[in-house]
Amino acid sequence: MAPPPPSPSMAPPGLIHSAPGLQDTCALLPSPPAAVGSRMSGPATDTPSAIQICRIMRPDDANVAGNVHGGTILKMIEEAGAIISTRHCNSQNGERCVAALARVERTDFLSPMCIGEVAHVSAEITYTSKHSVEVQVNVMSENILTGTKRLTNKATLWYVPLSLKNVDKVLEVPPVVYSRQEQEEEGRKRYEAQKLERMETKWRNGDIVQPVLNPEPNTVSYSQSSLIHLVGPSDCTLHGFVHGGVTMKLMDEVAGIVAARHCKTNIVTASVDAINFHDKIRKGCVITISGRMTFTSNKSMEIEVLVDADPVVDNSQKRYRAASAFFTYVSLSQEGKPLPVPQLVPETEDEKKRFEEGKGRYLQMKAKRQGHAEPQP
């Protein structure tokens, strides 16, 4: 896929601002592709409305087939979003804050990224409400031997500014200035839609994944998996709660294990439905990331991932649901060609209900893609 032409809406070339842990960060970059078509400027400050980070993909970023883990890319997307939204929220005089991830809209993995390629992650602020920031992110993969680039990911993230003095306090966001009135109206519609979806998802998150002894192959119980992780300082912001990108990477790892157990082949992330962050995860918590198969089509499988946090050092707080999402994976041959997916066998009434819900999401997204003339995974 040819890279899109550069947009005049982005800031001029300049220093890349990267989060801790990013390796091989370049010093200067050309203007990245814009997430929106028309120019939108920020407040009357020197704060840029767009940034780009990049780094080369290494063997520990990828699976055994050399494809970069979806979780690695999601983590880079979140880092770029956190940088630009935190910078914007501190662009005016007032109480200092840090931007925390609240939601990631559906993310499609349009093309695989491989070891040795350079990921270019471009982030741009596209809307602000009173208490939230919308950031749109594009990911380009560059073959540094040939110079060719291709679009691999597009994502929309929502952040909220939390006070440094009290991380439970949400502050107001400085407004942005739109070049067209339609931009603000379109952004407001996206804001209202994601707010409603996030609340609906939170109320649906009462169930948990229970282990089953001696499950039959191709059943939900056979492939379901859990990962238990103690949240340490390296997982957290300087203010003691977990980076959203760290959580998303762990979620992708668990979903990948579920998919591999079901197919017993090489698998790759095809897309991620909206990831909702319902509550912050603090340093010292034990988190349980659970994944279970919910639906299979001929060539794809949907996995529900739930993140529960247990504040073991705080007796005043009980275990709670911190995040949830649906991941879609495809099965690949050794040559990288799509393989048929073994059909899921739902056993209980709850599993059958989740299967039908997953089928509905699959058909809805399939119709949407065909309406936009996009290729099917």
The 3-class SS string of the chain reads CCCCCCCCCCCCCCECCCCCCCCCCCCECCCCCCCCCCCEECCCCCCCCEEEEEEECCHHHECCCCEECHHHHHHHHHHHHHHHHHHHHCCCCCCCEEEEEEEECCEEECCCCECCCEEEEEEEEEEECCCCEEEEEEEEEECCCCCCEEEEEEEEEEEEEEECCCCCCECCCCCCEECCHHHHHHHHHHHHHHHHHHHHHHHCCCCCCCCCCCCCCCEHHHHCEEEEEECCHHHECCCCEECHHHHHHHHHHHHHHHHHHHHCCEEEEEEECCEEECCCCECCCEEEEEEEEEEECCCCEEEEEEEEEECCCCCCCCCEEEEEEEEEEEEECCCCCECCCCCCECCCHHHHHHHHHHHHHHHHHHHHHHHCCCCCC
For strand 107-109 and strand 133-142, is the pairing parallel, antiparallel, or unpaired? Answer: unpaired
* Annotated catalytic residue 252: yes
Sign of CA dihedral 58, 63, 69, 71: negative
Per-residue confidence in pLDDT tens, the chain, 377 aa: 444 444 333 333 332 333 333 333 333 333 334 433 344 544 444 455 789 999 999 999 998 888 999 999 999 999 999 999 999 999 988 899 999 999 999 899 998 899 999 999 999 999 999 999 999 999 999 999 999 999 999 999 999 999 999 888 999 999 998 888 899 999 999 999 988 887 777 655 557 777 777 899 999 999 999 999 999 999 998 888 999 999 999 999 999 999 999 999 999 999 999 899 999 999 999 999 999 999 999 999 999 999 999 998 777 788 999 999 999 999 998 888 899 999 999 999 999 999 999 999 999 888 877 765 444 44
pLDDT of residue 15: 29
Tokens for 211? 């282990």
Predicted local confidence at residue 210, as pLDDT: 76
CA pair distance 50, 13, nearest whole angstrom: 10
Q: Is 67 a catalytic residue?
A: no
Give the whole-angstrom CA distance, residue 154 versus residue 157. Answer: 10
Residue range 6-58, pLDDT digits in tens: 433 333 333 233 333 333 333 333 333 443 334 454 444 445 578 999 999 99
Question: What is the CB neighbour count within 10 angstroms for residue 10?
Answer: 21
Single out the residue of 146, 152, 78 nearest to residue 114, CA to CA. Answer: 152
Q: Give the global pTM.
A: 0.81
Question: How confident is the model at residue 237, as a pLDDT?
Answer: 85
Q: Sign of the CA dihedral 263, 114, 101, 129?
A: negative
What is the pLDDT, as a whole number, of residue 93?
Answer: 85
Residues in CB range of 151: below 8 A, 6 or more apart:
1, 3, 4, 110, 111, 138, 139, 140
Question: Cβ contacts of residue 283 below 8 Å, gap of 6+?
Answer: 231, 232, 233, 235, 236, 240, 241, 242
Distance, CA of 359 to CA of 294 (rounded, Å): 9
User: What pLDDT was estimated at residue 204?
Assistant: 59
pLDDT at residue 24 in the model: 38
The token pair that represents 172 in the structure block: 């107001």
Q: What is the pLDDT of residue 299?
A: 93
Annotated catalytic residue, options 235, 252, 273, 308: 252
Judge whether 18 and 53 are in contact, CB under 8 Å: yes
Distances in Å between the Cα of 5 and the Cα atoms of 39, 141, 149, 151, 350 are: 15, 15, 12, 12, 48
**Type of residue at 334:** Q
